[in-house]
Chains A and B, each alone.
Chain A
Amino acid sequence: MKMKTRRRWFLLFCLLPGLLLLTLFKLYPTVEVFQKSFYLWTGIGDEPKWVGFQNFIDLFHDDVFLLSLRNTGFLMLVVPVLTLFIALINASILTRSKLKERGLYRTLFFFPSILSFVVIAILWSFIYHPTIGFLNSGLDFIGLSSWALPWLGDERTVLWALAITMIWQAVGYYMVMYMAGIDSISPDLYEAAGIDGATPIQQFIHITIPMLWEIIRITIIFSINGVLTISFIIVSIMTGGGPNRHSEVIMTYLYSQAFSNSNFGYAMAIGVFVFVMSFLLAILSNRLTRREAS
């Protein structure tokens, strides 16, 4: 009897603090964002007013929102595809090849993944800087001055410039995940393929990619979601959504609607949209990448 109450108190001690934190700072805000997205709400002191689906209808007549949706879509396509592709190749080289210095490369390539996004955003602002940036002065140096552009200030290049920054940051992270996967593939498979005369590239396509497919599927979802969050920091520091809103992304728009325009209800409708969209994207990419049962 005494044992039982002691056990009960101990369980309470273990579980209660975590459940309180989780409920307060995660579950409650999630419920709240869904509920309040149906309200018109302009500020802290203001009473929220029920407007039904009006916020969501407004979204699709809001040109800035649609532009930010398009920009986000571009980044969510380009960044994961290129990041995961480069990461896969790097992981493959750094596990399969016999290069002696591969440990050094592992360490180096992973390093950007642990840097603060703020540091990365500031650094890359200077890479793209029109006058003192080393991209333009590098072009100058090799005699291609005419190629120099204000990379972040030009509507045609700004999204690519941001995408490359995000790829630079993320490649190492996914590389490490893939290296773990490749390490767990049986070496016999590669050996047998080698004896049959398969080149390293053939081995990559016919052994590495199929064997890693489950991990690749997870990382696709990870990296699509990553773009949503990271694009906020990168964009708000590097371009502020400019030039002329051409790098506005959903999260920067959500943030400015809430904290600059005091449009809390509307911002939460954007939040719900993002939530639902990332959920659907996860399901969709899960479906599209599912292999036939073998």
Chain B
Amino acid sequence: MSMTANFESGSTKPKVSVSKTPLRWVGHIVLRIFLIIQALIVVYPLIWNVLASFKTNTEVMESPWSLPKTLNWENYVNAFTTARIGDYMLNSVLVVAMSMVILLAVALPTAYALGRMQFRGRGLITNLYMAGLFIGGAYIIVPLFILMNNLHMLDNRFWLSAVYATGSLSFSVYLMIGFMKSIPQDFEEAALIDGAGYMNILFRIILPITRPAIVTLVVFGFFDFWNEYVLALTLVTSDEKKTIPIGLANLMQIQQYATDWGSLFAGLVIVLIPTVIVYALLQKRLTEGMMMGGVKG
């Protein structure tokens, strides 16, 4: 509906330069076709996945393009019961929450000290965090595994969360330093004169002001932690502690032989739901945060 309305307004609007009008009109149509094709390429696999999650196995085999004949909720039941998606999901929720708490508890005071206080070694520590932006990644997975094995930190959801938080630490500190620096110095000076302690200044004054930036961190953290695969694969060994990406990958392996596609697709949809909800609610925050990173980085 709104699409046709836009077509009309696009074709009638540029009346000012008469000679350009047909050219612009054709140009807009070409652009729209280009965008619509891309939108289909992005959206279709996801729609197809949702449809397939309601199909029976034979329906999936027969025609991948058809609609499901009935809404087959059984796949979702199977995903929760036999494939234990619910358990994996619970682990993921736990790990995401712990990672977030650790990340915020560590990154915010660090960024405050580095962004707003003067002390010896500040430059060095700032550089250390900046270096952390570039080091890391999958190539340290082997020494990390050995270290955690030696310290008996493997197969432990708390330490997995600590590793997650560390992975996002450099970026978060970098982002927050920028925010912290933009707050006028008067706030602290006034508070200090009034006799407020450092803790009070940090928690009562600075953190409330930086709340928008904190929300950005939380949004980024959510997607990073909820979707993480390599570390969870390596650092968690027992099945009952695995997170949802690992659970799904396992399910994929099993279904290749069992050919029960339905519950796999149901599992994918179950994982997608929180992602879609968070994205819908906080899309602006996310892209704004990325833009800050893009422009400054």
Contact = CB atoms under 8 A, between A and B. Distances in A.
A6 B202 CA distance: 14
B28 A176 contact: no
A106 B197 CA distance: 45
Interface stretch (A50-58, A65-73, A125-133, A286-294): A125-133
Contacts of A215: 294-295
Contacts of A115: 227, 272, 275
Interface residues of A, number: 90
B70 interface: no
A178 B294 CA distance: 8
Taking residues whose C-beta sits less than 8 angstroms from the other chain, chain B's interface range is 35 or more
Contacts of A259: 145, 234
Interface string B1-41: 01100100110010000000000000110011011001101
Interface in B96-116: 102, 105-107, 109-110, 112-114
Interface string A163-197: 00000100011001111110110000000000000
A29 B147 contact: yes
Interface stretch (B56-64, B74-82, B208-216): B56-64
Contacts, number: 246
Nearest to A219: B294
Contacts of A18: 106-107, 109-110, 129, 169, 173
B45 A127 contact: yes
Contacts of A38: none
A132 B20 CA distance: 48
Contact of B142 (A28, A33, A172, A218): A33
Given A14-B112, A22-B129, A33-B139, A110 B287 contact: yes
Contacts of A19: 125, 128
Contacts of A107: 283
A170 to B, nearest CB: 12
B54 interface: no
Contacts of A28: 143, 147
A88 B278 CA distance: 26
B139 A254 contact: yes
B140 A101 contact: no
Given A15-B125, A17-B106, A19-B125, A138 B65 contact: yes
B226 A137 contact: no
Contacts of A25: 144, 162-163, 166-167
Given A118-B229, A134-B48, A259-B234, A264 B146 contact: yes
B227 to A, nearest CB: 4
B207 interface: no
A142 to B, nearest CB: 11
B9 to A, nearest CB: 7
Given A25-B163, A111-B42, A14 B295 contact: no
A150 interface: no
B264 A258 contact: no
Given A21-B106, A229-B137, A141 B144 contact: no
Contact of B132 (A22, A100, A108, A184): A22
A251 B113 CA distance: 37
A131 B149 CA distance: 43
Contact of A7 (B135, B198, B252): B198
Given A15-B114, A97-B31, A179-B291, 11 more contacts: A14-B110, A22-B129, A32-B147, A116-B229, A116-B248, A117-B227, A118-B227, A124-B45, A132-B261, A133-B64, A173-B290
Interface of B: 2-3, 6, 9-10, 13, 27-28, 31-32, 34-35, 38-39, 41-43, 45-46, 48-49, 52, 60-61, 63-65, 102, 105-107, 109-110, 112-114, 117, 119, 125, 128-129, 132, 135-147, 149, 162-163, 165-167, 169-170, 173, 197-199, 202, 223, 226-227, 229-230, 234, 245-246, 248-249, 252, 261, 264, 268, 271-272, 275, 279, 283, 286-287, 290-295, 297
7 contacts: A14-B109, A21-B106, A26-B132, A116-B271, A122-B248, A255-B141, A274-B139
Q: Which 10 A-B pairs have the closest CB atoms?
A: A180-B291, A177-B294, A116-B227, A14-B109, A32-B143, A14-B113, A271-B139, A29-B143, A10-B198, A29-B140
